[in-house]
Chains A and B, each alone.
Chain A
C-alpha cells in the first residue's frame, strides 16, 4: 500500500482525495479500499482546491469555548472540481452555486480549509 499523503486533517495545507484504479469511483474520506467496488489501494492525489458551493450554514451558536471565539463562521459543503464533496469553512457572504477556491485558516487550534469566491482569490 502506498504511503498516505498528508492533508489538512493532519495539519498540512492540502486537500486530498482518492480515485479507484479499478472502477474510477472518487472518494473524499480516506480508506484503504474503494467504497464502491472494494478494490484495494485507491490512487491518492492532491485536489486543486477549486469547486462550487453546494450548501452553506452560518454557525452563530457554537458549543465549545474554542469554537465560540470564531462565531459567526460559515460552514460549507463544496463540490470540488475532481468530483467529490467536502465540508469546509468559507467567506460569510458565499451563496449556493458560487465558484470558489480553497485556502487555509487557523480554527480552534487546527488549520481548516477556507473557501473564497474564485474571482477574488485570483487577485494578487
Chain B
C-alpha cells in the first residue's frame, strides 16, 4: 500500500530569476512540510526533466542541491505523462519495500528561461527527426492533425473544443496560483489567433515557470490519507505518423488496465484530473476514458457536469490550459489539486465529495498514457 503524504505546488506564470532547481526546491520543501517529513526521511527521489537545463543526472543534481542522500534516485522522461509515471513508479517502489518515502519533483523556468520559440522548437523534436520534423510541424500541429480527424469522425466542432478552454479558465479564476485570471468566452476562443488549425491560441496551454512535488510513502502521516489505489500505463507509438486509429489509442488501454488492477469503475469516480495540453486533448481523453460518451464531452461541459458543483468536477485548479504548463510540473498540478480536494483543503474551490479520483496523463502525441485511481482513507 502507498499513500500520497504531502504535496507542494508553486504558482505558475513568471518566476523571473528562478532556475529550474530553484522551482524544484520550492515545491519539494512545500511537499515535505505538507507531509510533516524532514529531508532525512526521504530515501528515494524521482524527478522530471527540464528542457531549459537538460542534464544526464538531474535527480542526483537535485538531491545534492536540496541536501538529500537517497538510496534510490533517477530522472524519468515520459513527456506530459512523466508526473503520473513517476508517481506510479514511486507507488511500486514503496510497495516493494525499496523505499519508505519517495520525493517526486519537477520544476522548470520554461517561460523566462528561454524564448517561446525555443520552447516550441524543443518540444517539436518529439516528432520523427527524418520523416516529420523537416516538415516544420509544431506540437499544436501534431494535435491539430488528431483534432481534425476526431472532429471529422465524431462530429465535434471548434465551438465544442472552445468550451474546454472556457471551463478551465473559469476554474483558474478561483485559484490564486493560476497563470490566467481573466474570464474568457467561446467567442474569445474562436477569435483568438490561429496556431495550427483547428487549434487557436486559446485552445493551447501556455508556457509557464513553475514547480510541483509530492511525497509517496509507505505510512500515512496525516489524519486523512490519500491512497494510491492502483494505476496502469499504455504506450502505442511515439510519432503521430505511426499512431493507431482513434479507436485504438492508449488511453482506453491504460484505463482498462487500471480498472482491472483496482476493481473500480468509472461510476465510482467523484473527481477527475485529466491532462489538457490542448482542448482536443481534454475532449478526447474524457471520451476515451469513459467520463463522457463519444462526441458528448462538450455537451457535458455546457450542462455543468464538469464544473466545481457538477457531478464530475474536473481540474478545479484550471488545468494546463489556464493554471499553466511548466513541463513535467504542469500535469503534477492536477494531482496536487486532487489531493487538496480529497483532503478537504481546496478552500473556495472545494467540491462536495472527492473520495475517489481518477487521474490521467498523456505524453508525446497521445503516445504514452498513465491512468491512476486515488482513494481517500480516514
4 more contacts with CB within 8 A, not counting A28-B131, A75-B135, are A54-B149, A56-B145, A60-B197, A87-B137
Q: How many residues of B contact A (CB 8 A)?
A: 34
* Residues from chain B with Cβ under 8 Å of A64 in the complex: 117, 121, 136
* Residues from chain B with Cβ under 8 Å of A108 in the complex: 134, 136
Contact status A60-B196, CB under 8 Å:
yes
Name the CB-closest residue of A to B152. A96
* Residues from chain B with Cβ under 8 Å of A1 in the complex: none
Name the CB-closest residue of A to B195. A61
Whether a CB of chain B sits under 8 angstroms from the CB of A112 is: yes
Q: Mark B160-176, 1 if CB is under 8 A from A, else 0.
A: 00000000000000000
Contact status B193-A61, CB under 8 Å:
yes
B interface residues, Cβ below 8 angstroms from A: 117, 120-121, 124, 128, 130-132, 134-138, 140-142, 144-149, 152, 193-199, 239-242
Name the CB-closest residue of A to B143. A57
CA distance A64 to B125 in the complex (A): 13
- Contact among A59, A89, A96, A112 with B196 in the assembled complex (CB-CB below 8 Å): A59
Whether a CB of chain B sits under 8 angstroms from the CB of A86 is: yes
Residue contacts A-B, CB under 8 angstroms, 22 given: A9-B131, A28-B242, A29-B131, A29-B241, A29-B242, A30-B130, A55-B146, A55-B148, A55-B152, A56-B148, A57-B141, A57-B145, A59-B140, A60-B193, A63-B138, A75-B144, A75-B196, A77-B240, A85-B241, A87-B132, A87-B135, A89-B135
* Residues from chain B with Cβ under 8 Å of A67 in the complex: 136
CA distance A9 to B135 in the complex (A): 10
Shortest beta-carbon distance, A98 to chain B, in Å? 12
* Residues from chain B with Cβ under 8 Å of A72 in the complex: 194
* Residues from chain B with Cβ under 8 Å of A70 in the complex: 136
Shortest beta-carbon distance, A118 to chain B, in Å? 19
Question: With A29-B131, A64-B121 known to touch, is A59 a contact of B137 (CB < 8 Å)?
Answer: yes
CA distance A64 to B134 in the complex (A): 12
Q: Is the interface of A mostly helix, strand, loop or mixed?
A: strand
A interface residues, Cβ below 8 angstroms from B: 9, 28-30, 54-64, 66-67, 70, 72-73, 75-77, 85-89, 96, 107-108, 110, 112
Contact status B241-A57, CB under 8 Å:
no
* Residues from chain B with Cβ under 8 Å of A73 in the complex: 136
Name the CB-closest residue of B to A30. B130
Contact status B194-A87, CB under 8 Å:
no
CA distance A88 to B132 in the complex (A): 8
Contact status B148-A86, CB under 8 Å:
no
Name the CB-closest residue of B to A60. B194
CA distance A30 to B128 in the complex (A): 12
CA distance A58 to B197 in the complex (A): 5
CA distance A107 to B136 in the complex (A): 9
* Residues from chain A with Cβ under 8 Å of B117 in the complex: 63-64
Shortest beta-carbon distance, A47 to chain B, in Å? 13
Name the CB-closest residue of A to B239. A29
* Residues from chain A with Cβ under 8 Å of B145 in the complex: 55-57, 75-77
Contact status B196-A61, CB under 8 Å:
yes
Question: With A63-B120, A64-B121, A77-B240 known to touch, is A57 a contact of B144 (CB < 8 Å)?
Answer: yes
